[in-house]
Chains A and B, each alone.
Chain A
Amino acid sequence: MRQISAKLDFVVGDAAVLARMPELPPFRVFDDRALTFLRALAAELFAAGEGRTYPDLAAFAFWCRPSSLLPLREKYGRARLGRGLAFHVAPSNVPLNFAYSLVAALLAGNANAVRLPARDFAQTALMGAALNRLLATGAFADVAARLCLFRYGHEREATDALSAACASRLIWGGDDTVAEIRKSPLPPRANEITFPDRYSICLIHSERYLADYDRQRTAQDFFNDTYLNDQNACTAPRLIFWFGGAAERARAVFWPALRERLERYTLQASQTVDKLAGFYRYAAQAPCRLSLDGDCKIFRVAVPEISPDITNHFQNSGYFYEYDARDLEEILPVCGRKCQTLSYIGFDGAELREFVLAAAPFGVDRIVPVGRTMDFSLVWDGVDLVRTLSREVALP
């Protein structure tokens, strides 16, 4: 590890900390040292007040308070230890994803080496600064000894060395990143969690939407699920299934309400051209009908049938396929391995889960109401992170 440290640009920790980390004893799951540290981190982030500028920073601070995490402690029992060093490869374009990954692995009891996004996001820098202020107090020496955040370029050697030293590797960022990082071998005992490319879908019950939902509030929720991240998060719905007998009327309410919310959403030329090209590429080979509402912010592409191939034609930045469905079975062709989140308006989550469990598709890992697709959970992509990043010391 020493020889690669020169290639790393440390934001938290340093070469000496990193070199010692693989051999430090792990924590227990939900160790008090980890919880105390997270309580202080949440307080530090709230005190710094930057959450007002960066809602994602505030959301993280809120999420990492022990009061929201402690209820989960019971689930894991007391007989679990961390696996050792967790090596995290954060996605390049989500500012704080690394922080959730880090907290999951810390709660599981691991030391953490985190490769930060290459882009220099303000939120990433603020989080790094908050961590450094806390660690500098000396009050969290055991956590400080187990935490390094850094950036590095495309040096295979660095990935090789970190992979060879880790007990668990977490790769966020899509199929190509997974393939690239997997060129670096892991030790025989190490495990790996990958977060490859996924897509998500949304189910809307037209009559219940019209009857029970506030249109502005729902538009905001749907905006948060989609445009807030340029509809480029894997959790963002790309295909909408309309149910019930009032789909036409519901659309005439739903889309204008969303459009009002988009006054300040701006498109760069490449986003508009990508959407137009994506639409024509799809239209060249499958029947569909485009609806534009005055400008190019919302591309709605109505399709008369769902083929699994439609999932190869997803776009971002406000591009939605729409389909009028008669029964739930009709979503199954797009519930394959790449399907991650099923969000809904006007359904019961538990009933949808029963349907999915009975139909047993290869995909659909999460079922959440509209507005909640971005909420991070310690079970992600169908993987219980704390369990997977720890080991149970078993008795007969």
Chain B
Amino acid sequence: MLNELFNTAPYALARAEKEKTLTALLTRLTAHHYEKCREYRAMLDGYGFSPRRPVDSYYDLPFLPVRLFKELTLSSVGADEVFKTLTSSGTTGQAVSKICLDRITAANQQKALVKIISSFLGSARLPLIIIDCPSVLKNRHSFSARGAGVLGFSIFGAERIYALDDDMNLRVDALADFLRRHAGERILLFGFTFLIWRHFYAALQESALSLDLTDGIMIHGGGWKKLSDQRVSPAVFKAGLQAVCGLERVHDYYGMAEQTGCVYVECEKGYLHASVFSDIIMRRPSDLKVCAFGEKGVAEVVSVLPHSYCGHALLTEDEGVIVGEDDCACGRKGKYFTLTGRIKAAELRGCGDTYAANFS
């Protein structure tokens, strides 16, 4: 059934059919992890969920808060089958997620990513500018989400160049040379939102260099937290890039290390889209019941890919709004949505400690 999905166009399934497919696959994954992962089984037993009891829909399956992957190592395969361990990009001092990947899961993640991204790029490989530094890929067996993103997207590039050196300086001459050699071709740019703004946009804005990327296409992800702290909105981001290098096609994507491959790419109308491999469900903060479309909630994401770890249904710490389903003006089927930010830590009453945290 997973193979059928790989033979389906990534935005081809309408609601009824998609729900049927996802319910079958996700129910099977729940049973698989229940059987293979001791901690997951204990968690579901404690929750009172039996995988033997059929559910009407994947909406009714239990979902784990994504932060558990920072605190527990949850693996559904033997240690000898773990082919690499992926870590999320926590900032210094924060706990990072540890995701155990076996060969099947890693391969499926890559396949799903290819299906999704090539529906935006076309199947031909394009000259690729990676807006990052080469050292991001140093350790091949244990790497960060940034590294995984770079590696995952590298396959879309015919010829690749890193836009930054290891000190995060823009490699002006190398870039100019790259563009000269690929004059007249469509160029693909990939990078993390914050790094693009900080080291690519800012450097171009300051330098006299003018790069012509009018016919380029940029795909960027990693979240808006740092930029919204600096009051850089998606509109400002796009306008800024257009001003410094003429870029017109810029696609944000939403995704997380815990569900690599299942990216939610921004369409031409400015909405993030769920592909056939995954779905997003907004849940009410007070009772975790499903929000109506248009109602802000905490995002649950489901993915049919995680075989080696129980990350197929996760409650994120992001908030957003489902705009609609199957009827986006861009023509893609499935849900389309916007994100509104991270959930904020509540200011609790009571004498629990909050003082020292402010010191660091």
Contacts and interface: CB of A to CB of B under 8 A. Distances in A.
Interface of A: 91-94, 97, 118-119, 154, 172-177, 179-180, 195, 197, 228-234, 236, 266-273, 276-277, 279-290, 294-297, 301, 316-317
Contact of A285 (B42, B65, B353, B359): B42
Contacts of B42: 283-287
Contact of A281 (B47, B72, B287, B349): B72
B350 A316 contact: yes
Interface residues of B, number: 40
B285 A269 contact: yes
B65 A91 contact: no
Contacts, number: 154
Q: Which secondary structure dominates chain A's binding surface?
A: loop
B355 A232 contact: no
Contacts of A172: 351
Contact of A267 (B285, B315, B350): B285
A91 B352 CA distance: 8
B86 to A, nearest CB: 20
Nearest to B64: A280
Contact of A231 (B285, B289, B350, B354): B350
Across the A-B interface, give the 4 residue pairs with the lowest CB-CB distance, nearest first: A232-B350, A174-B353, A283-B46, A176-B356
Q: Which secondary structure dominates chain B's binding surface?
A: loop
B356 A236 contact: no
Contacts of A289: 45-46, 48
B168 to A, nearest CB: 30
Interface stretch (B170-178, B205-213, B339-347): B339-347
Contacts of B64: 280
Interface in B64-111: 64-65, 67-68, 71-72
A288 B344 contact: no
Interface of B: 39-40, 42-43, 45-48, 64-65, 67-68, 71-72, 285-289, 298, 315, 317, 319, 343-359
A63 B130 CA distance: 67
26 contacts: A92-B355, A93-B350, A93-B354, A173-B355, A176-B353, A177-B355, A180-B356, A197-B353, A230-B350, A231-B350, A236-B350, A270-B345, A270-B346, A272-B287, A272-B298, A273-B67, A280-B47, A280-B65, A280-B68, A281-B71, A283-B43, A284-B42, A284-B43, A287-B42, A287-B46, A296-B286
A140 to B, nearest CB: 29
A267 B302 CA distance: 24
A283 B71 contact: no
Contact of A268 (B65, B68, B346): B346
Contacts of A234: 350-352
Nearest to B352: A232
B288 A229 contact: no
Contacts of B45: 283, 287, 289
Contacts of B286: 266-267, 272, 295-297
